[in-house]
């Protein structure tokens, strides 16, 4: 990204709970439904740091110690879209390149305006620095993965226990296969199960 890209884009401020001390504070869940689009255009998330020159005070330090973006499906299940380590932050500097976001591969990003700059005796000039995510699809749903319940080496399976956490109607799919170096045979059985509350 370039500063020109950032200026040309449309940005909306998202209200969030911020810390007022060095103690980390949980922002809580933030609803992004208002940013869903019918044409599946990606969205970008950004943290903006602003610091101002002051006669006696240093600029603040901010750290994002945890971040998870998830899609909550109609059945209430939570489908991860991105974690802090996967979101691919990029740094864009608008003012004063002596201070910038630290963007390690862990995704736990920070920016520190309190650290003195080598060779500069006066307090830092005004700062504006952006940390911007990679393109994000808010409708993304990860492909479901099966659970192996029987293999060639295990004993005969007469039953398999499973507890459904919520009432509703579910489609249960069993896939059995046998394979050699030259051939593979597979059979699929589907069951529709309705779970009613007691």
Residue-wise pLDDT tens digits, 20-77: 777 888 888 888 888 887 777 888 888 888 888 777 777 778 888 888 888 887 777 7
User: Does 195 reside within a domain?
Assistant: no
Give the pLDDT mean for 159-168: 85
Q: How many Cα atoms sit within 13 Å of 178 on the Cβ side? A: 2
| Closest to 61 (Cα-Cα) out of 19, 6, 15, 4 | 19
User: What's the confidence (pLDDT) of residue 11?
Assistant: 92
Q: How many CB atoms lie within 10 A of CB 4?
A: 8
Give the pLDDT mean for 94-109: 79
The DSSP 8-state label assigned to residue 138 in this structure reads T
Percent of the chain with pLDDT over 90: 3
Q: Roughly how many angstroms between the first and final C-alpha of the chain, as a whole number?
A: 55
Give the pLDDT mean for 1-7: 87
User: Does 170 reside within a domain?
Assistant: no
User: What's the confidence (pLDDT) of residue 122?
Assistant: 47
Give the pLDDT mean for 70-85: 77
194: pLDDT confidence band, cut at 50, 70 and 90?
very high
User: Does 130 reside within a domain?
Assistant: yes
Which residues, including other chains, have CB under 8 Å from residue 77's CB and lie 6 or more apart? Answer: none
User: Does 181 reside within a domain?
Assistant: no
The boundaries of the domain holding residue 47 are 1-146
Res. 116: pLDDT tops 60: no
120: pLDDT confidence band, cut at 50, 70 and 90?
low
User: What's the confidence (pLDDT) of residue 192?
Assistant: 93
Residue with more model confidence, 154 or 37: 154
Residue with more model confidence, 97 or 47: 47
Positive or negative CA dihedral for 44, 17, 84, 76?
A: negative
User: Does 174 reside within a domain?
Assistant: no
User: Does 142 reside within a domain?
Assistant: yes
Res. 150: pLDDT tops 60: yes
Number of structural domains (the chain) is 1
User: What's the confidence (pLDDT) of residue 119?
Assistant: 53
User: Does 51 reside within a domain?
Assistant: yes
Res. 142: pLDDT tops 70: no
User: Does 91 reside within a domain?
Assistant: yes
Residue 31 to residue 48: CA distance in whole angstroms = 19
């Amino acid at each position: 990204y370039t500063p020109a890209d950032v200026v040309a884009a449309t940005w909306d401020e998202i209200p969030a709970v911020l810390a007022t001390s060095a103690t980390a504070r949980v922002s809580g869940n933030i609803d992004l439904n208002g940013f869903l689009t019918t044409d599946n255009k990606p969205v970008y998330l950004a943290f903006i740091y602003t610091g101002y020159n002051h006669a006696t005070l240093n600029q603040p330090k901010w750290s994002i110690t945890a971040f998870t973006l998830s899609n909550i499906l109609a059945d209430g299940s939570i489908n991860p879209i991105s974690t802090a380590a996967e979101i691919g932050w990029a740094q864009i500097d608008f003012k004063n390149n002596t201070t910038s976001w630290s963007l390690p591969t862990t995704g736990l990003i920070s920016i520190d305006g309190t650290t003195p700059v080598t060779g500069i005796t006066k307090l830092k000039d005004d700062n504006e620095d952006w940390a911007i995510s990679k393109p994000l699809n808010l409708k993304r749903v990860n492909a479901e993965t099966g659970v192996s319940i029987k293999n060639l080496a295990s004993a005969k399976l007469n039953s398999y226990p499973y507890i459904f956490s919520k009432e509703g109607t579910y489609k249960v799919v069993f896939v059995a296969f046998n394979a050699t170096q030259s051939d593979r045979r597979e059979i699929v059985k589907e069951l529709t199960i309705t779970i009613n509350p007691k």
